[in-house]
Amino acid sequence: MAEISASLVKELRERTGAGMMECKKALTENNGDIEASADYLRKTGLAKADKKASRIAAEGRIVAAQADGKAVLVEINSETDFVAKDANFIGFTDAVGQAALDAADVEALKNAKLPSGQTVEETRAELIAKVGENVQVRRIARVDSGNVLSAYVHGGRIGVLIELKGGNADLARGLAMHVAAMNPPYISPAHVPADFIAKEKEIALAQVKDTGKPAEILEKMIAGKIAKTVNEICLTGQSYVLDTNVTVEQALKAAGAEVVSFVRLAVGEGIEKQTDDFAAEVMKQAGLA
């Protein structure tokens, strides 16, 4: 029997998209013949990953994990919501979430070992063959801190990491839920860019300049409009979703806490989804277009 080298396994894997272990098995079964091994993988349905790699995957799940002062979110995409609810996909994403606790970025995560002994990338390739869709580990967000952390996922589609200085786990989770629901772009007015403020001032001035009011009154009106807009887009200025009688800022002050940072991920955001024109596709197949 021919010796199966690592380079031969790598070549077959790059060619077929199948997992390392499956490639090695195929080469062993076919005495190191790469052509026969590729055929073997196609026949067994394990060489599908490469054919699906270019297909748009904008559905999927956000998964979270938290332990020992670390908290992570990972977005893992599939092509359809149907596969996103598949037990095999869910099991894969849960395992990847745990592995992400010790991964600095997506590339490191792809090479991380899962409890099965295979890497994330090897397992992903096998999952593609099993579910018949493109699957991608898209992005990771992480916090490694001695502060109070919360990793929250809503419905598998929106995930939030939040870091507090002071406060407690319950407050952190409540604020993570707030961020998931309200999606504020900034923590506080101090974090709002100066060019945004300038633009809002320009708009407010255009709205009040023809009112005939004295300059000092107009200045107060403009300042009030800007303050209202800024509060609406800042976490601290919003009414707290778990107690709408107070703002988030008031809830933080009551707990002696402040928000250091937060990250919000939503499944598929920023991915241009493909829209199928079924009528055009039928006409094309019928030779009418």
Q: State which amino acid sits at residue 192.
A: V
pTM: 0.74
**What is the edge-to-edge ordering of all strands in the sheet holding 59-67?**
59-67, 70-78, 136-144
Using CA atoms, how far residue 92 sits from 95, 112, 125, 134, in Å, is 5, 13, 11, 14
CATH number given to 6-47: 1.10.8.10
Domain boundaries, the chain: 6-47, 189-250
Query: Is the Cα dihedral 80, 83, 89, 94 positive or negative?
Result: positive
Task: Return left, alpha or beta for 169; rule: phi > 0 is left, psi -120 to 50 is alpha, else beta.
Answer: alpha
What is the b/e burial string over 119-146, where b = at least 16 CB atoms within 10 angstroms of the residue's CB? bbbbbbbbbbbbbebbbbbbbbbbbeee
What is the pLDDT tens value at each position of the chain, 289 positions in all? 567 888 888 888 777 767 778 888 889 989 988 888 888 876 665 555 555 666 777 899 999 999 999 999 999 999 999 999 999 999 999 999 999 999 999 999 999 999 999 999 999 988 988 888 899 999 999 999 999 999 999 999 999 999 999 999 999 999 999 999 999 999 999 999 999 888 888 888 887 777 777 778 878 888 888 888 899 999 999 999 999 999 999 999 999 999 999 999 999 998 876 555 545 555 554 555 4
C-alpha 3: how far from its chain's center? 42
